[in-house]
């Protein structure tokens, strides 16, 4: 039986009954791009907002590739795999990621390709004691593990040949969920990405990448760096990504605008997921928001949620 046949036969649900419950997620909403070549690291260092030196020493970071005006065109979670770099991105953006990164390649000795054999599995709650330390990566017989820094979450990059046996082992005593389950995990972790529909909207620090090490202000030049640095050193952010929980039966799509109770623009959607009690979402909001939001004229019945880190608002 192939991996696709196996996973199609699994009784996947949208979410665990509680966000802290042990769960296993089929993350087919994410793709893996492999960057290889003797200049791969040097080239990516000049294209992504994060510092690959942290990746080279065993970490994994989500950084942006920016437009010239400093807004995220795509975002990727990057990890070292031998001499190569693996970049996790939304499945619908894999070709856009490659196209964006190839734009400045010229004669650099680096190539990019989607890893069609890669399988991404997410683990939530009661992580095995054998996994790497928070924020670090490690490989075992199941594949390459990426453990989140602030929450009880981890991603596993395996391959189609091993995926069925790996899934069977990990599924013991865990709720098996589809991609929605991992989108909820990322919301719980306060980990935002640029999904299709939200391209060229957000500065890295607006998605809190200055808190999660997704942007580095000392690493040197990269595309869009001047705008990002100017905001950091001389500007004052008036909006940041926050979490909301809401009960209206409305799916929020990336990039959609939201309004406050006065009908004024309040922010934009980063991502959303269905939960046992309605929906949760990561949304870029103005600092003074009360969390009462509307999509068009429809109330979301929303409240501000919490993130596992503190937002560094500047007075």
The span from the CA of 132 to the CA of 155, in Å, is 11
**What is the residue-wise DSSP string for 173-204?**
TSEEE-HHHHHHHHHHHT-----TT-TT---G
Query: What is the per-residue pLDDT for 235?
Result: 79
Task: Give φ, ψ of 137 to 5 degrees.
Answer: -125, 160
Residue 214 pLDDT > 60, yes or no? yes
Q: Report the pLDDT averaged over residues 290-303.
A: 93
Give the CA distances from residue 71 to residues 14, 68, 85, in Å, rounded to whole numbers and listed in that order.
31, 8, 23
**Dist CA 241 CA 292 (whole Å):** 15
Task: Enumerate residues 6+ apart whose C-beta is below 8 A from 305.
Answer: 242, 243, 244, 245, 280
Query: Residue 315: what pLDDT?
Result: 57
* 287 SS3 class: coil
Task: Centre a 10 Å sphere on the Cβ of residue 259 and count the other Cβ atoms it contains.
Answer: 16
Share of the chain above pLDDT 90, in %: 84
**What number is the average pLDDT over the span 167-171?**
96
pLDDT of residue 290: 84
Q: Which residues on adjacent β-strands are paired with residue 213?
A: none
Between CA 43 and CA 31 the distance in angstroms is 21
CA dihedral 295, 231, 43, 53 (to 10 degrees): -100
Distance, CA of 206 to CA of 228 (rounded, Å): 10
Task: Report the alpha-carbon distance of residue 71 to residue 194 in Å, rounded.
Answer: 10
**What number is the average pLDDT over the span 252-280?**
95
From residue 16, alpha-carbon distances to 29, 125, 272 in Å are 18, 11, 15
The pLDDT, as a whole number, for residue 54 is 96
pLDDT class of 287 with cuts at 50, 70, 90: confident
User: Residue 240 is encoded by which pair of tokens?
Assistant: 């940041």
φ, ψ for residue 144, nearest 5 deg:
-100, 120
Is residue 314's pLDDT more than 80? Answer: no
Q: Which residues lie below 8 Å from residue 106, measured CB to CB, with a gap of 6+? A: none
pLDDT in tens, 5-48: 999 999 999 998 877 789 999 999 999 999 999 999 999 999 99
The dihedral over CA atoms of 34, 37, 42, 47, expressed in degrees to the nearest 10, equals: -40
Segment 219-233, tens digit of pLDDT: 888 989 999 988 888
| Domains present along the chain, CATH in parentheses | 13-189 (3.30.1360.120), 238-306 (2.40.30.110)
Give me the chain's average pLDDT, please.
94
C-alpha distances (whole Å) from 153 to each of 4, 15, 134, 244 are 24, 14, 9, 20
* pLDDT tens digits for range 4-14: 999 999 999 99
Measure the CA–CA gap between 75 and 48, rounded to whole angstroms.
9
Q: What is the mean pLDDT of residues 58-80?
A: 96
Task: Please say whether the beta carbons of 78 and 43 come within 8 A.
Answer: no
CA neighbor of 112 nearest in space, from 59, 41, 55, 37 = 37
């Amino acid at each position: 039986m192939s991996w696709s046949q196996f996973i199609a036969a699994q009784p996947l649900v949208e979410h665990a009954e509680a966000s802290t419950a042990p769960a296993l997620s089929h993350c087919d909403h994410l793709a893996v791009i492999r960057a290889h070549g003797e200049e791969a690291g040097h080239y990516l260092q000049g294209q992504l907002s994060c510092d690959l030196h942290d990746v080279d020493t065993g970490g994994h970071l989500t950084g942006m590739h920016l437009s010239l005006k400093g807004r995220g065109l795509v975002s990727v979670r990057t990890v070292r795999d031998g001499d190569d770099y693996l970049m996790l991105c939304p499945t619908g953006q894999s070709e856009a990621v490659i196209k964006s990164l190839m734009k400045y390649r010229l004669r650099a000795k680096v190539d990019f390709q989607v890893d069609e054999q890669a399988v991404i599995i997410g683990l939530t709650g009661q992580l095995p004691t054998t996994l790497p330390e928070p924020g670090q990566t490690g490989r075992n017989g199941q594949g390459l593990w990426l453990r989140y820094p602030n929450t009880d979450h981890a991603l596993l990059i395996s391959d189609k040949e091993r995926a069925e046996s790996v899934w069977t082992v990990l599924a013991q005593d865990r709720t098996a969920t589809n991609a929605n389950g991992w989108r909820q995990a990322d919301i719980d972790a306060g980990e935002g990405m640029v999904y299709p529909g939200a391209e060229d909207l957000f500065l890295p620090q607006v998605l809190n990448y200055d808190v999660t090490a997704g942007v580095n202000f000392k690493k040197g030049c990269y595309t869009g760096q001047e705008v990002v640095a100017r905001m950091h050193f001389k500007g004052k952010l008036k909006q940041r990504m926050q979490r909301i929980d809401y009960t209206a039966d409305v799916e929020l799509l990336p990039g959609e605008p939201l309004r406050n109770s006065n009908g004024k623009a309040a922010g934009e959607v980063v991502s959303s997921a269905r939960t046992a009690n309605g929906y949760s979402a990561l949304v870029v909001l103005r600092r003074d928001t009360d969390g009462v939001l509307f999509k068009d004229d429809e109330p979301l019945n929303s409240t501000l949620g919490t993130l596992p880190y503190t937002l560094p608002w500047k007075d």
